Chains A and B, each alone.
Chain A
Amino acid sequence: MISHFLKLEWKQFFRSSHWQKGIAIKIVMAFLALYFIVVFLAIGVGGYFILKKQFPEQDPLQMVNSYLLYALLGDLIFRYLMQKLPVMNIKPLLILPIKKSKLVHYVLAKSSISFFNILGLFFYIPFAVVLMIEGYAISGALGWLFAIILMIQSANFLNFLINKNTIALGVISVVLASLIGLQNFGIYDVTALGGEVFDAIYTNPIYSLIGVVVLAVLYNLNFKQLKNLVYLDEAVSQKVVAVKSADLSFANKLGDVAPFIKNDIRLIWRNKRTKTVFLMSFLFLFYGLIFFTQETYKEIPAMLMFASLFVTGGFALNYGQFIPAWDSAHYKMLMSQSFKYRKFLESKWILMVVMTSFLYVLSFPYLYFGVDIFLMITAGAIFNIGFNSLFLLFAGSFNRKKIDLNKSGFGNTQGTSATQFLIILPLMVLPILLFWLFNELVGANSGYIVVAAIGVISLLCKKYAMNFIEKKYIENKYVMINAFGKEA
């Protein structure tokens, strides 16, 4: 039986959409994965030495131990928000002659090797290895690692128990907040208490067996709860979200474009992937902080320009690059309706311009870093509004990959093709190059002026550009319908 399950897992993994991609994307994804693994390993291996160097008079293990309690609670909240029991994929197995208890064990076992449980190990395992090399007791370090793994697994199963329970999340949040409060106001030394527990495990590895008991109890509770819920109208049901309709009649003032604008707002707000894109664009606002705060980049204004473009360009870039694939699911319908294609494109353009302007307003606090930085952001915003939004629309006419809106947003590369890589050139490299050239050769403020001027000129030529873009889309209509009709 287990071999059957394993075979299914194997096929699910290698036949998932992650692998059915072009070679270029596979390579990029592999590099990204490798990058993150290396980063985590580096933190794990280097963590010991960094702590030792920064706090020479303290024991690195004790320092890590003292914060483990917070790590555990933070992990629980993160899991509560992100991790769901992978219960849907047993649906086809329910009608086969397999015992329910077996299915439940399968689901639970599967959950214990999820991404959430593996990630932390990239830190803890190297850290434990370094401890052993540095002369800590081998049995102690192993016992400590064992206890950590048990703790992660317990968190995994605890999460599923409280997942259906908002009160539980509240309790955990309050506990976390009050622990931090107690610590900060010096009322009670929580960190020390947490530290002592894990220190004790290191000195007496046998204590880690308590973790086994905790894990067994949690697993059992999960098993009992889930076994009673393996029905199509209980655990194995697709959640149907009740509609929350917002009043969008303010958009009616926009005239002909209004139906499309309203549609786009709903598109963004009601689908996981687009929502992620929307929220991400606010994260991009902070991109500048990475660059503006570092002395090294002050010498290379071109790098600062790069950051400035990102500060206001988050939405236009992330949303714009997949126009019109966001509408791929119902593209056929749109093409059989009577409307000017122009209106459809115009609504996307308005959306990008409005959001970029809004992000620009939010970027005003960057004035703190001086007028030069702010001028750079302003030039970047003008470029994003004028040139980028039009160029992204144009580039969209090359999009041939369907996007399934119901799939989640994180790390989802559906819809990505060579287009997404090629557009980076004019969008990012061009303004940076021009800025650099003028800044080096002409000096003064010419760099900003050139970048902003391109934005203004593009904006002035909008009508002609839109005519051209519209023609491009109409030319490519059949190819797009065909491509969007294919399963992604």
Chain B
Amino acid sequence: MITIDTISKKYGKTEVLNVENIEIPKGQSFGLVGNNGAGKTTLFNILLDLIRPTTGLITNNNIVVSQSEDWKNFTGSFIDESFLIGYLTAEEYFEFIGDLRGMNKVDVQKFLGQFSDFFNGEIIGKKKYLRDLSKGNQKKAGIVAAMMGSPKVIILDEPFANLDPTTQIRLKTIIKKLTENKEITVLISSHDLTHITEVCERIVVLDKGVLVKDLRTSAATLKELESYFSV
């Protein structure tokens, strides 16, 4: 589904990312871990054609992301709060994204209905602008918006950060369900090793922009990651 081919990114002389080759098959739940500055967000930004790589190409469903924009039709993403429109209410934001993704009002209503547990009554009908919601609630809105319009690829940067424990558990269930039928490819990054080993079948570790581990998740993975990071 997604092919990352010799992607590198340089700012001046410092190289922040240099990834040889990663092939992500359709339906895989793909996890990205690494310390601050490892290049996780940079990689996601390149994947979304928000930053141009210095070298290399990324193809998403056979579309080179920097050459055509057709991948946008089947890719949903949430990187950070700058993906929200602060002066809209959550409903208006969902309606806006829905409009762009070809959903009418009824579709949006129906879609949001599935997430009433996840929202825990804190998002819909609150009469608050997104900019006035707490960080955790902003994140919830952003994550759900990324799933609108039945995308085939979903990219979430640090989805567990700022969420309360209940919502973290619910989010894990949602992600597992998404990849159940091997139809939807999910890419997430996280600092929480437990969460990511729980939801991802494959985990890639980046360090200073370089791929250092590419693991198929098993019972031993968490131990391995913990020993790697406990330097």
Q: Encode contact with B along A233-244: 1 for CB under 8 Å, 0 otherwise.
A: 000000011110
Query: Of A242, A333, A338, A481, which contacts B51 at CB under 8 A?
Result: A481
Shortest C-beta distance, A402 to chain B (Å), equals 10
Which residues from chain B contact A333 at a C-beta distance below 8 Å?
A: 82-85
Contact A263 B128 (CB under 8 A): no
Which residues from chain A contact B200 at a C-beta distance below 8 Å?
A: none
Contact B72 A337 (CB under 8 A): yes
Shortest C-beta distance, A345 to chain B (Å), equals 15
Q: Encode contact with A along B63-83: 1 for CB under 8 Å, 0 otherwise.
A: 000000110110101010011
Q: A485: CB under 8 A from chain B?
A: yes
The segment from A68-76, A265-273, A412-420, A431-439 that touches chain B is A265-273
State how many residues of chain B have any CB contact under 8 Å with chain A: 32
The segment from B96-104, B165-173, B209-217 that touches chain A is B96-104
Q: Chain A contact residues (Cβ within 8 angstroms of B): what range?
A: 20 to 34
Contact B48 A336 (CB under 8 A): yes
Contact B82 A338 (CB under 8 A): no
Q: A332: CB under 8 A from chain B?
A: yes
Q: A84: CB under 8 A from chain B?
A: no
A64 to B63 alpha-carbon distance, docked (Å)? 76
Contact B86 A405 (CB under 8 A): yes
Q: A478: CB under 8 A from chain B?
A: yes
Contact B88 A263 (CB under 8 A): yes
Which A360-417 residues have a C-beta within 8 angstroms of B? 405-406
CB nearest to B86 among chain A residues: A329
Contact B82 A335 (CB under 8 A): no
Known: A329-B86, A335-B50, A338-B72. A240 touches B132 (CB 8 A): yes
Which residues from chain B contact A245 at a C-beta distance below 8 Å?
A: 89, 92
CB nearest to B132 among chain A residues: A240
Which residues from chain B contact A478 at a C-beta distance below 8 Å?
A: 50-52
Q: A330: CB under 8 A from chain B?
A: yes
Query: Of B77, B88, B132, which contacts A266 at CB under 8 A?
Result: B88
Of listed A240, A333, A405, residue having the most chain B CB within 10 A: A333
CB nearest to A274 among chain B residues: B87
Could you tell me the dominant secondary structure of chain A's interface residues? helix
Known: A338-B69, A339-B100, A478-B52. A332 touches B128 (CB 8 A): no
Contact B85 A243 (CB under 8 A): no
Known: A478-B51, A481-B50. A259 touches B83 (CB 8 A): no
Q: B129: CB under 8 A from chain A?
A: yes
Contact B127 A332 (CB under 8 A): no
Q: A258: CB under 8 A from chain B?
A: yes
Of listed A266, A329, A330, A336, residue having the most chain B CB within 10 A: A336
A396 to B86 alpha-carbon distance, docked (Å)? 22
CB nearest to B127 among chain A residues: A243
Contact A263 B96 (CB under 8 A): yes
A380 to B3 alpha-carbon distance, docked (Å)? 55
A235 to B131 alpha-carbon distance, docked (Å)? 20
CB nearest to B149 among chain A residues: A338
Contact B87 A338 (CB under 8 A): no
Query: Of B52, B79, B101, which contacts A338 at CB under 8 A?
Result: B101
Which residues from chain B contact A271 at a C-beta distance below 8 Å?
A: 87
Which residues from chain A contact B77 at a C-beta distance below 8 Å?
A: 336
Could you name 19 residue pairs across A and B whose Cβ atoms are closer than 8 Å? A240-B132, A242-B128, A243-B129, A259-B99, A262-B96, A329-B82, A330-B83, A330-B85, A332-B83, A333-B84, A335-B49, A337-B72, A337-B100, A338-B100, A338-B101, A405-B87, A406-B86, A478-B52, A481-B50
- Chain A positions within 8 Å of B, measured between CB atoms, are 240-243, 245, 258-259, 262-263, 266-267, 270-271, 329-333, 335-339, 405-406, 478, 481-482, 485
The 9 closest A-B pairs by CB, nearest first: A338-B72, A259-B99, A333-B83, A270-B87, A243-B127, A338-B73, A240-B132, A336-B48, A330-B85
